[in-house]
Every structure is written in C-alpha cells, then in structure tokens.
Structure 1
Amino acid sequence: MASQEEILEGLANIVNEIAGTDVEDVQLDKSFTEDLDIDSLSMVEVVVAAEEQFDVKIPDDDVKGLRTVGDAVDYILKAQG
C-alpha cells in the first residue's frame, strides 16, 4: 500500500509523462484542468496509468469528482483499502 507521498510522486510522474507538466508543479491543491492543463482525454490517460501503477479501479463516474491532485491522492489511498 502506497503512502500519500508515494501516490503524489507517482501521480506527478504520470502527469509529467502525459502532459509534460513539471513534476514540481503537481501539488495536492492543484486542479487537473485549471492548473495543470489536463483535458478530459488526458485525464482518462492519467486515470488508466494511476489504476495500473497503484492497482486500484477508478470507475468513470468517480473520475468526475477528482478535480484536484489531492482528490486523486485521497481516492487512491481509500481504494487501496
């Protein structure tokens, strides 16, 4: 089970690979769409990569609620059980 820091680091690397965003810019309070320029298509790629990396399932209906990096980190923490 990954810690909050490990999840944040993993998401930062995923966002960097998909959107070219600097890893340092991916912080808990950042909005995927407004701050990190992640569009809906890129968000799907982020979710798929996060599911694979952290061995969790994120249903499409739940993706809409992941507005910030912190939302995603909290969701993954809970999904890990």
Structure 2
Amino acid sequence: MLTREELALVLRTAVSDVLGTDIDDVREQTSLLADFGIDSLELMEIGARLERALALRVEIEDLTGAHNVGQAIDLLHQRVGGRV
C-alpha cells in the first residue's frame, strides 16, 4: 500500500502536469478551483492520470467534493487502503 506521502506526490504530479504549473505550487492547502480556476476537462484528465498511476477507480465527484489538495489526498489514501 502506498503511503499518504507517496499518494501526495502522485496527485501533485498529476495536477502540475495537467495544469502546466510547477509541482511546488501544488500544496495541501491549494484549492484547485480558487487558486487555478480548474475546469471539468482538466479535472477529468487528472482523474484519468490518477486511475492509471494507482490502478484505482477515481470518481470525478470525489475530486470535485474535495475543497483542497489535502482533502483529495486523504480521499485517495482511504480508497487505496480499502481498494474501493
């Protein structure tokens, strides 16, 4: 099972690749909507990258429900732990 820190790196990398930003700009308190103005297509691409990297189904609603990157990491950590 991946650690929370490893999941954070996977998520932060996916976000920075899709948005074309530096990985250091994607922190746990970062709000993808407020800070980057992310749109639904970008969010779907992030979800697809996470699914490929983690071999795990990621629902877009789960990502849109997270208020910041830290909450999304926590969700992924729970999913990976339970392989939901």
TM class, shorter-length: 0.7 to 0.9
Runs of 4+ in 1 over 4 A off after TM superposition: none
Normalised TM-score (structure 1): 0.86
CA distance in 2, matches of 1:63, 1:27: 15
Would you say 1:75 and 2:78 are equivalent positions? no
What amino acid does structure 2 have at the position aligned with 1:45? E
Q: Residue 37 of structure 2 corresponds to which residue in structure 1?
A: 37
What amino acid does structure 1 have at the position aligned with 2:35? D
Return the offset for 1:76.
0.7
Instruction: Judging by fraction of residues, say which structure has more helix.
Output: 2
**Gap regions ≥5 residues in structure 2:** none
Q: Residue 49 of structure 1 corresponds to which residue in structure 2?
A: 49
CA 65–10 in structure 1, closer or farther in 2 if over 3 Å, else same: same
**Gap regions ≥5 residues in structure 1:** none
CA distance in 2, matches of 1:31, 1:67: 6
Normalised TM-score (structure 2): 0.83
- Alignment of structure 1 residues 14-25 onto 2, 5 Å: 14-25=14-25
Return the offset for 1:67.
2.7
What amino acid does structure 2 have at the position aligned with 1:5? E
Report % sequence identity.
31
